[in-house]
């Protein structure tokens, strides 16, 4: 008979090295998967891990994918450290995109040059409001935040669909379900000529620094983490669980909403029904691969961005299905969970 039992002390080395091991296992399984599909595994891995970083332009495209993933994962890291399970960041991302688009569509040729600030602020506020619905239901009625936040994703998608197919539909858009293109004052400026990299990536890096200070250098951040690790100790110390709930979901919703605003005002420059790209769900994997640490999230966001771009290249150049992106994301998550299980537990044979 075999059983898992807790280890006396998990290895500090493997706590941080297990994401690399999980990536190695993902690559190994990917090789097997490519071979089973009758595709060249070397070329397949090249699509996912070489082509996305081969040129300066490719790096710019990588930052476009990494920016929303990083912002959303930063907010989720606060939630998960606080033991608040926000699974509906995708809905908060959509709500932020809708709110930002609503403000952007009000702009005209005479709008001031700083109008973009209002657009981004509206996106952050929209995401905050959407997350506040979950916080309110959890706080007042003890509703499960996992189910509430997840169900609100579909509500946000229906609101988005109603707007782009209805009142916000561009009358000059040849009947396509999309808003009109935003005015230039409501668009996120690019950082370099010949690249689509925009200032949203800089804002994401600033958010990384601010989140590091908040989590590890402030009393409020310490209270959030204590409440997640030891709720009884947090109550004994006088930390408010209600405040921790609202703070965690508020930060997470605002950052997800900001990500949505940067997406519609940046590379898309209009509101379309294709704004939901799964970033809110993929950011959960980013958060755990990055060990809920702001610096680790930067690296894991870039890795997940490579999966997105690599999946698109594998689809167009090798004829692989679009679902390969999700397959690699899922493989990475399950490999990480398996590694983490063995970090904290060991397999022992039970004496007869």
pLDDT in tens, 221-265: 999 999 887 888 888 888 888 999 999 999 999 999 999 999 999
Q: Look up the domain containing 74 and give its range.
A: 66-291
Number of domains in the chain: 1
User: What mean pLDDT value characterizes the chain?
Assistant: 93
Distance CA 11, CA 42 (A): 33
Res 352 pLDDT > 60: no
> CB of 120 within 8 A of CB of 102?
no
Is there a domain that residue 176 lies in?
Answer: yes
Mean pLDDT of 41-56: 92
The token pair that represents 114 in the structure block: 């700083």
The model's confidence at residue 137, banded by pLDDT at 50, 70 and 90, is: very high
Residues 74 and 255: beta-carbon distance below 8 Å: yes
Domain presence at residue 45: no
Question: Does 15 fall in a domain?
Answer: no
DSSP assignment, residue 50? T
As a whole number, mean pLDDT of residues 196-215 equals 96
Residue 151 forms part of a structural domain: yes
Backbone region of residue 298 per phi and psi (left: phi > 0; alpha: psi in -120 to 50; beta: other values): alpha
Give the whole-angstrom CA distance, residue 268 versus residue 98: 13
pLDDT digits (tens, 9 = 90+) for 6-45: 888 888 888 888 999 999 999 999 999 999 989 999 999 9
Q: What percent of the chain is modeled with pLDDT above 70?
A: 99
What's the rounded Cα separation, in Å, for the pair 115 and 286? 32
Task: Retrieve residue 60's tokens.
Answer: 């710019």
- Per-residue confidence at 295, pLDDT binned at 50, 70, 90? very high
Ramachandran category for residue 83: left, alpha or beta (phi over 0 → left; psi -120 to 50 → alpha): left
The answer on pLDDT for 54 being more than 80 is yes
Q: Identify the weakest region by mean pLDDT among 82-91, 232-241, 324-333.
A: 232-241
The model's confidence at residue 65, banded by pLDDT at 50, 70 and 90, is: very high
Q: What is the mean pLDDT of residues 61-69?
A: 96
Question: Token digits for 105?
Answer: 């569509």
Residue 20, in any domain of the structure: no
pTM score of the predicted model: 0.94
Cα distance between residue 260 and residue 123, in whole Å = 7
Token pair belonging to 117: 């600030």
In this predicted structure, what is the pLDDT of residue 11? Answer: 85
C-beta of residue 280 within 8 angstroms of C-beta of residue 92: yes
- Least confidently predicted of 45-54, 101-110, 148-157, 234-243: 234-243
Ramachandran class of 23: left when φ > 0, alpha when ψ lies in -120 to 50, beta otherwise = alpha
Half-sphere exposure of 287 (CA within 13 A, CB side): 23
Instruction: For residue 223, tell me if it sits in a domain.
Output: yes
| Residue 325 belongs to a domain | no
Instruction: Look at residue 348 and tell me if it is in a domain.
Output: no
Q: pLDDT band for position 308 (50/70/90)?
A: very high
């Amino acid at each position: 008979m075999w059983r898992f039992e807790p280890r006396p002390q998990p290895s500090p080395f493997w706590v941080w090295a297990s994401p690399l091991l999980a990536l190695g296992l993902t690559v190994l399984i990917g090789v097997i998967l490519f071979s089973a599909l009758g595709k060249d595994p070397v070329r397949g891995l090249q699509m996912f891990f070489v082509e996305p970083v081969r040129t300066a332009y490719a790096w710019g495209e990588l930052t476009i994918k990494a920016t929303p993933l990083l912002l959303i994962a930063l907010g989720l890291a606060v939630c998960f450290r606080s033991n608040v399970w926000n699974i509906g960041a995708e809905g908060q991302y959509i709500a932020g995109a809708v709110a930002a688009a609503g403000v952007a569509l009000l702009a005209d040729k005479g709008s001031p040059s700083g109008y973009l600030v209002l657009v981004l602020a509206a996106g952050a506020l929209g995401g905050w409001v959407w997350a506040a619905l979950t916080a309110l239901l959890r706080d007042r009625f003890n509703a499960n935040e996992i189910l509430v936040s997840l169900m609100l994703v579909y509500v946000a998608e229906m609101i988005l669909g109603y707007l782009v197919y209805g009142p916000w539909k561009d009358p000059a858009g040849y009947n396509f379900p999309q808003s009109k293109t935003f005015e230039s004052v409501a668009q996120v400026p690019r950082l370099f000529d010949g690249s689509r990299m925009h200032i949203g990536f800089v804002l994401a890096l600033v958010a990384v620094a601010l989140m590091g200070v908040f989590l590890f250098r402030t009393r409020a951040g310490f209270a959030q983490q204590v409440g997640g690790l030891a709720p009884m100790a947090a109550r004994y110390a006088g930390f408010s669980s209600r405040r921790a709930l609202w703070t965690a979901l508020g930060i997470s919703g605002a950052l997800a909403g900001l990500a949505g605003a940067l997406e519609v005002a940046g590379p898309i420059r209009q509101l379309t029904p294709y704004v939901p790209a799964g970033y809110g769900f993929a950011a959960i994997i980013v958060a755990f691969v990055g060990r809920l640490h702001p610096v680790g999230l930067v690296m894991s966001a870039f890795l997940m961005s490579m999966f997105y771009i690599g999946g698109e290249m594998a689809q167009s150049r090798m004829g692989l299905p679009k679902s390969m992106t999700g397959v690699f994301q899922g493989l990475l998550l399950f490999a990480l969970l398996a590694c983490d299980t063995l970090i904290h537990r060991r397999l022992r044979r039970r004496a007869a």
